[in-house]
């Protein structure tokens, strides 16, 4: 299924979000590229309002478990579990930035979300993030936010390069015999060769093709970026469960979403593609400001919601 999604936010609201992202881009451009801590601090402020929604509890995984935090809305079932892989170029991103998004997703799905605090590059290079996400997903089958208990169903979700991690995790988990109920991918960055024609456009206030191309040598130096572990767009997708993909016409990585939908459909995977009009790459982080972000998260939650 392919659905075109037109914008509903006011022009003033969109302008404010774009201005905020341009300011972030200027800060990043001015930062010393070797000052990883400074860059992470700037990225952690990328959302205008990242506060979680009300009546949601946050529970650290703790102990020998994978690093991360359970996000559990009051009244939601802890036995339906979504493992969330965040974006930000493999080298940044934290719950400080994602609390609003993952708490809204948990409420929309009425399920527990495990936010994976995977190891970041350049200190931890490939396959560190991939290993952490796969470990978290396999662990979630028998460990929940309240106790060590068997899950009724486990799902995967992610955004940007985290969508690539989620898709790679789904493929690896399926090969290991684990069940992936369904997958949601927001603005997926799943081709680290950056070969889509949309990468030539310069309409996004923050993300550029050059930024995307810098991810592979940062996270996986010396590895061919077309390797399907880094670029799961080129992997054999047959046998996967249902996938929902959300992209934007203004995103320089738009073609990753379009090509994945085509390849998944040809592989016999039940696929939903929602293509939003004119939104920046990171629109889903602006749910307080953009009605499209709220609707997109609700669509993701409905797709992941236990039947």
Supply the residues annotated as catalytic.
160, 251, 281
Tell me if 292 sits within 8 A of 9, measured CB to CB: yes
Contact 136, 116 (CB under 8 A): yes
Residue with tokens 């016999």: 268
Q: What is the C-alpha to C-alpha distance for residues 288 and 186, in angstroms, rounded to an integer?
A: 17
Alpha carbon separation from 215 to 95, 190, 191, 192, 230 (Å, rounded): 21, 11, 11, 7, 10
Tally of CB atoms within 10 A around 82 = 29
**Cα–Cα distance measured from residue 305 to residue 307, given in angstroms and rounded to the nearest whole number:** 6
Distance CA 100, CA 285 (A): 7
For 165, the 3-state DSSP assignment is: helix
Structure tokens at 237: 């997708």
- H helices present in the chain, as ranges: 11-30, 36-44, 95-109, 128-140, 161-175, 209-213, 215-219, 254-266, 291-304
């Amino acid at each position: 299924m392919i659905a075109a999604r037109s914008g509903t936010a006011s022009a003033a609201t969109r302008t404010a979000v774009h201005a905020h992202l341009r300011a972030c881009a200027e800060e990043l451009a001015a930062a010393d590229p070797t000052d990883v801590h400074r860059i992470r601090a700037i990225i952690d402020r990328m959302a205008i309002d990242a506060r979680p929604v009300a009546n949601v509890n946050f529970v650290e995984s703790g102990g020998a478990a994978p690093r991360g935090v359970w996000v559990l809305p009051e009244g939601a079932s802890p036995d339906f579990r979504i493992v969330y892989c965040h974006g930000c170029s493999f080298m940044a991103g934290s719950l400080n930035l994602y609390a609003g998004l993952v708490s809204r997703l948990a409420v929309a799905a009425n399920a527990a979300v495990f936010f994976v605090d995977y190891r970041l590059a350049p200190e931890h290079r490939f396959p560190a993030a991939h290993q952490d996400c796969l470990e978290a997903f396999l662990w979630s089958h028998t460990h929940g936010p309240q106790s060590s208990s068997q899950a009724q169903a486990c799902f995967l979700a992610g955004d940007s390069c985290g969508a690539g991690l989620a898709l790679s995790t789904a493929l690896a988990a399926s090969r290991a015999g684990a069940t992936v109920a369904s997958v949601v991918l927001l603005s997926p960055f799943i081709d680290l060769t950056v070969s889509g024609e949309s990468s030539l456009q310069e309409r996004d206030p923050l993300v550029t093709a050059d930024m995307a191309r810098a991810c592979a040598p940062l996270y996986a130096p010396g590895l061919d970026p077309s390797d399907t572990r880094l670029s799961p767009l080129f992997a054999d997708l047959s046998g996967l469960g249902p996938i929902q993909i959300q992209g934007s016409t203004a995103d320089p990585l738009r073609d990753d979403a379009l090509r994945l939908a085509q390849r998944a459909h040809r592989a016999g995977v039940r696929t939903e593609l929602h293509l939003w009009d004119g939104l920046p790459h990171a629109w889903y982080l602006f749910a307080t400001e953009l009605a499209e972000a709220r609707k997109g998260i609700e669509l993701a939650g409905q797709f992941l919601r236990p039947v």
